[in-house]
Amino acid sequence: MANEDERGVLFVLGVWDVGGVERVTAALGNAFARRGWRVTIVAFRFGDRALLEGLEPSVMVKALGFPVASAANEKALRALLLARGVLVVVNQWCLPWGVTRLLRRAGRGLGVRLVSVLHNVPDNNGRIAAATGLRRWLWRLLSGLSLRLVYGQSDAFVVLSKRFEPIFRRMTGLAAAPRLCTIGNPLTLAPVPAPKENILLYVGRLEETQKRVSRVLAIWRLLAPRFPDWRLEVVGDSPDRAALEAQAQGLPRVTFHGFRDPAPFYAQARLLLLTSDFEGFPLVLPEAMAAGCVPVALGSYPAVYDVVRGTNGVVVAPPFEAEGFARDVGDLMAHPEVVAGMAETARANAAAYGVEAVADRWEALFKEVCHD
């Protein structure tokens, strides 16, 4: 595709912390570095740096700063594009539109290709979900316009599920979008062998706007009296943790672990619960499946149906209703032989999300955009 001096790829993120986008970026960055790419990761601010410790030694990490559109950021980015021989910029923070504009200015005249990635379902995000009435309609309108502007300035635009493509076209008003393509997220954790225990598991941010973790507690409130040999483990953190712990007062056999490596928890748990109002491509689903932890997820976003197919887990039809969700989970808890069979299927299905397989799809896209 290019000579060795030009095989540079630069990932752009907003705030680097410990979320799914950061884990995906680290996994792909390492995979590309092993394949001979010169990998650079930039973010406008770095919070928790734990994930950076696992990067390949050749991966360069640089900090920009706020405000995003500053002349200093443009100058720093242009210097990196030149010094690192960057062929492709992968914009992991494609909304707001200003990031794309900055990247285009920095790369002017250099022939650098821009690939923008939307890590959520196209018709929902935190701002839309938190709004109501006219304000919600306005945020949807602005999001659609911003997506259209980003698409127009990108050499390729990646969504995480084929089911997102018609939603993207509807949100942007684009009857055709030939540069739109789908690449799902890779597994970012290696399964840890461990004997299974009667554990219901939640892994993720402890917040209500999107994740609706209070629903997990409502489900457990109904199930705990029926299944005294089971327990609920909650792995994750956020400002809503204290409120959720207060809601859990009086519930038996509930443990909040805070932010921890989820791999050992996947290994021990039999069932994973995910009750979000919306998601892009939640890593917890294939990660749990790879460890034989069977997901039970609310079908509130299209990508869940790509991953959970009935034989490897259960999708509960929306809207959320605690009694119905608890009934489906309880049916599994009462039939361990069914869960064991699903777990084996889940392990096999998770292989499709291996990082090398996903990196192959990314390299094919790089080749396509660089030869246009």
Tens digits of residue pLDDT in 77-93? 999 999 999 999 999 99
Per-residue pLDDT at 372: 62
Q: How far apart are CA 331 and CA 346, in angstroms?
A: 18
Establish how many alpha carbons lie within 13 A of residue 43's alpha carbon, considering only the half-sphere containing its beta carbon. Answer: 17
Per-residue pLDDT at 280: 85
**Amino acid identity, residue 30?**
N
Per-residue pLDDT at 268: 97
Using a 10 angstrom Cβ sphere, with 0-12 exposed, 13-18 middle and 19 or more buried, the burial of residue 345 is middle
Regions of the chain where pLDDT drops below 50: 1-5
Domain architecture of the chain: domains with CATH: 4-186+354-371 (3.40.50.2000), 199-352 (3.40.50.2000)
**Amino acid identity, residue 234?**
V
Q: How far apart are CA 284 and CA 332, in angstroms?
A: 19
Per-residue pLDDT at 4: 44
- Dihedral pair phi/psi, residue 350, rounded to 5°: -65, -20
Q: How far apart are CA 7 and CA 112, in angstroms?
A: 11
Per-residue pLDDT at 2: 44
Q: How far apart are CA 64 and CA 58, in angstroms?
A: 19
Q: How far apart are CA 233 and CA 200, in angstroms?
A: 6
Beta-strand (E) ranges in the chain? Answer: 8-16, 38-46, 60-63, 86-91, 113-117, 156-159, 180-182, 199-203, 231-235, 254-258, 271-274, 294-298, 314-316
Strand partners for 91: 12, 116
Per-residue pLDDT at 3: 45
Per-residue pLDDT at 19: 84
